[in-house]
Amino acid sequence: MRSESKHKNWNEVKTNDSWAIFKIMGEFVNGYEKLSRIGPCVSIFGSARTKPDHKYYKLAESIAKKITEHGYGIITGGGPGIMEAGNRGAHLAGGTSAGLNIDLPFEQHDNPYIDSDKSIDFDYFFVRKVMFVKYSQGFVVMPGGFGTLDEFFEAFTLIQTHKIERFPLILVGTEFWTGLMDWIRQTVLLENGNISPEDLDLVHIVDTEDEVLNILNEFYNKYNLSPNF
């Protein structure tokens, strides 16, 4: 009886997995339809826990405002912290402010600075990440936690392996990111040879909104603005 019950439960899992495909397809279709209409955007990543009085919140807001004033829209994960700062900067500049929201047991709630027609909800992290990568003309990565690192390294890997077109990866905050990049350079590259020296050319570390804007403009003076795959 026990094995029969187990077998039944396993079949139910397989059935539920099959039907989940349609929900996943629906998230892809909804994301593609909405984001393909909003024009060139830059994604801003960073900690959901950063408070409005923190220097990195203020810097993220300033970066978003500046690059929005120069024709780029802003995409964030739609939540609080650095995400809110990015949407707030875009909102203050009167530009495109999109939020790719996801339901989490902690931290995540929509911030009030997302354009009402550009707020998209996801249940699946992997669908959401595809949307970031496909429609972002650059990643501005502020200090953050595991989610921020995940987004950065996913984009880094996809560009390195030529699965997507190259676009700027900009780490903001020398004091925060230098240790990580030094470790990659010394341990991952020099001591173990696990990457190529030119891979590190994909990443910029900066501290100001002017540096971010200059990198974006310099890159897109050479290349067309378009989806990345």
Q: What is the pLDDT of residue 14?
A: 60
| Paired sense of beta strands 73-76 and 41-45, if any | parallel
Domains and CATH numbers, the chain: 2-220 (3.40.50.450)
- At which residue do the structure tokens 């067309």 appear? 224
Whole-number Å distance between alpha carbons of 41 and 2: 55
CA neighbor of 64 nearest in space, from 135, 175, 140, 116: 140
- At which residue do the structure tokens 């496909």 appear? 134
Least confident of 6-10, 30-34, 91-95: 6-10
Given a cut of 70, whether residue 10 has pLDDT beyond it is no
Give just the sign of the alpha carbon dihedral 183, 189, 195, 200. Answer: positive
Classify 24 as helix, strand or coil: helix
Whole-number Å distance between alpha carbons of 71 and 79: 23
Give per-residue pLDDT as tens, 111-128. 999 999 999 999 999 999
